[in-house]
Amino acid sequence: MDARTRGAAAFEPHDHSRCAASILSHAEEVAAAAGLRLTPVRRRTLEILLEEHRALGAYEVLDRLAQEGFGNKPPVAYRALDFLVEQGFAHRIRRLNAFTACMHPGEAHAPAFLICSRCGAVAEAPAEPVRAALDAAAGQLGFVIERTNIEAVGLCPACREAA
């Protein structure tokens, strides 16, 4: 499944358990190849993020982890989420102060996050052309971009159709 197909899946009916299992499996392979430990709490945190195509706040993740016996102190969730973000297995959605699973872990990419203002669904769309344009504009000013976070808010196809 290519990046465009995976991004569209967030807004279309699909076998979500298969989608999540495929991404989790790929993340495990990437972690193993890099010599990283996907501990039980890190793995479960990624599974929680993969359960829905929406962003979750750290305290939502912590509540789920606590219910499952992983502890109820904020560092439990924050450490797991930080690891997942640092390794490219999850992304932080700054506008929502929340996290979402990466739809293509281990792949170099410049995502744009499409956030539905009505239902909260989040899709990860390829944004290489946007990043290239931004790099060119910054370069004209002698500025070098180290990191970007592109987020767009609107209506997903289902919410747009219902409106």
CB 80 within 8 A of CB 45: yes
119 is in an annotated binding site: yes
Alpha-carbon distance 39 to 101, whole Å?
Answer: 16
Alpha-carbon distance 87 to 34, whole Å?
Answer: 10
102 is in an annotated binding site: no
116 is in an annotated binding site: yes
Q: From residue 36, give the alpha-carbon distance in Å to each of 25, 31, 42, 105.
A: 14, 5, 11, 13
Residue numbers in the known binding site are 116, 119, 156, 159
Residue numbers in the known binding site for Zn(2+) are 116, 119, 156, 159
